[in-house]
Structure 1
Amino acid sequence: MTQARRPPAPPLPKGDRNANPQGIGFWSLVAEDFRTHDRDWSAQGFWTLFWHRFGNWRMSVRPKILRMPLTLIYRFMFKSCEIFCGMKLSYNVPVGRRVRLDHFGGMILGARSIGSDVILRQNTTLGINSPQDLNAKPTIGDGVQVGAGAVIVGNITIGKGAIVGANAVVTRDVAPGTIVGGVPARVIGTVAGVVAETVGEEP
């Protein structure tokens, strides 16, 4: 019996609006990111997030002709972050608050969205698992921690407070408060407080 084929993933965000977190201004958001990265001006994760936030903020500038110089600046700095910070995070990936991009390099962060209070470590890959569906990218929930070298691919969800171990390869949904590791990733534990908190929440 052949395995049922998964339906195509829904479209990704178009990047045609400011997708920075609501309820906080641009500079307040930058200050929060700075504190999240231990007030370290040299932290590559801080600068990658700064230009990500800038890329979103510029989308609130109207009309488009006034935004064009900002777009040129963003594109140049986006590429600079790839080269000098070793991190690729496009502005059209919605990113929550207090996200920490830990340590230098090797991050390809092509997610559908990244929640708040997330920690992503070096050499993390988020993206598609097949060129046949370019929309099939993962959703990273609030409070998720991802270990160095982890690969998370496909139209899957990493639930709130889950922990993905170093070098794990994740191709299936991870329940809230679950600890996974290995290749392919399997459940190796739970985060008790998170599991208790999510009981009874709407799916």
Structure 2
Amino acid sequence: MKEERNTAAPLDDGSLNNNPSDIGYWALIKEDFFVHERKFGSQGFWTLFWHRFGNWRMSVKPKLLRMPFSLIYKAMFKSCEILCGIKLSYNVPVGRRVKLEHFGGMILGARSIGSDVIIRQNTTFGVADTKDLNAKPTISSGVSIGAGAVIVGNITVGKNAVVGANAVVIKDVPDGAVVVGVPSKIIRINK
């Protein structure tokens, strides 16, 4: 008897500019700079800068005119991985005022990341099982993620939730919940 599994919906294919539509490109970059405390050397800022650039380039039509921007994006994406220790592909929709705090060791393969999110070092978002490469987490707005957290699978971390340091999250987290541990468990829900 063949086992049936629910597979996740396809991920964003990256064919569109998924930067937040309620703010212009340069205003978004300025906002990211302020969120990262106006530190020109902030690795989190530069990773978001090239993420935003990767999205912006998708609005350049036709594809032939976009090609030089794509080459720049690909080189800078790899540079961010090597020099900043952060992997955040442009096809992950990212909201506004996201702070990539304490750079290093971040693999941010999410379905999407909301606004007003703080992500600390050594954090991993991604798949729980290689049999479904689309099964990536959704990080809602207002989430605070502690250092070393692992959030995997086709799950949702609810609005204003707190994921404790080194928590391993493999199940949905309700809005306002505080989760800790391996595997994570809810210790309280903030109202």
Alignment of 1:50-69 (within 5 A): 50-69=49-68
Q: C-alpha distance in 2, partners of 1:122/1:148?
A: 5
Q: C-alpha distance in 2, partners of 1:153/1:108?
A: 11
Q: What is residue 31 of structure 1 aligned with on the other side? A: 30
* RMSD, aligned α-carbons: 0.9
Q: Deviations over 1:150-170 (max 9, x none)?
A: 000000000000000000000
Query: Is the partner of 1:51 in helix, strand or coil?
Result: helix
Amino acid at match of 1:150: A
Q: C-alpha distance in 1, partners of 2:60/2:166?
A: 40
Query: Is the partner of 1:13 in helix, strand or coil?
Result: coil
Number of paired residues? 189
Q: What is residue 160 of structure 2 aligned with on the other side? A: 161
Alignment of 1:1-203 (within 5 A): 6-192=5-191
Q: C-alpha distance in 2, partners of 1:81/1:32?
A: 20
Query: Is the partner of 2:91 in helix, strand or coil?
Result: coil
Moved over 3 A (4+): none
Query: Is the partner of 1:82 in helix, strand or coil?
Result: helix
Q: C-alpha distance in 2, partners of 1:39/1:134?
A: 36
Q: Normalising by structure 2, report the TM-score.
A: 0.97
Q: C-alpha distance in 1, partners of 2:188/2:32?
A: 30
Amino acid at match of 1:177: G
Q: C-alpha distance in 2, partners of 1:121/1:63?
A: 38
Deviation at 1:189, TM superposition (A): 1.4
Q: C-alpha distance in 1, partners of 2:169/2:152?
A: 6
Q: C-alpha distance in 2, partners of 1:151/1:56?
A: 26
Q: C-alpha distance in 2, partners of 1:150/1:50?
A: 23
Q: What is residue 199 of structure 1 aligned with on the other side? A: none
Q: C-alpha distance in 2, partners of 1:118/1:44?
A: 16
Structure 1's 119 and 9: CA in aligned 2 closer, same or farther, altered over 3 A?
same
Q: C-alpha distance in 2, partners of 1:27/1:122?
A: 26
Extract unaligned runs of 5+ from structure 2.
none
Query: Is the partner of 1:73 in helix, strand or coil?
Result: helix
Query: Is the partner of 1:77 in helix, strand or coil?
Result: helix
Q: C-alpha distance in 2, partners of 1:6/1:27?
A: 43
Amino acid at match of 1:126: F
Q: C-alpha distance in 1, partners of 2:132/2:4?
A: 12
Amino acid at match of 1:181: V
Q: Deviations over 1:51-97 (max 9, x none)?
A: 00000000000000000000000000000000000000000000000
Amino acid at match of 2:79: S
Q: Deviations over 1:86-117 (max 9, x none)?
A: 00000000000000000120000000000000
* Same amino acid, percent of matched pairs: 68
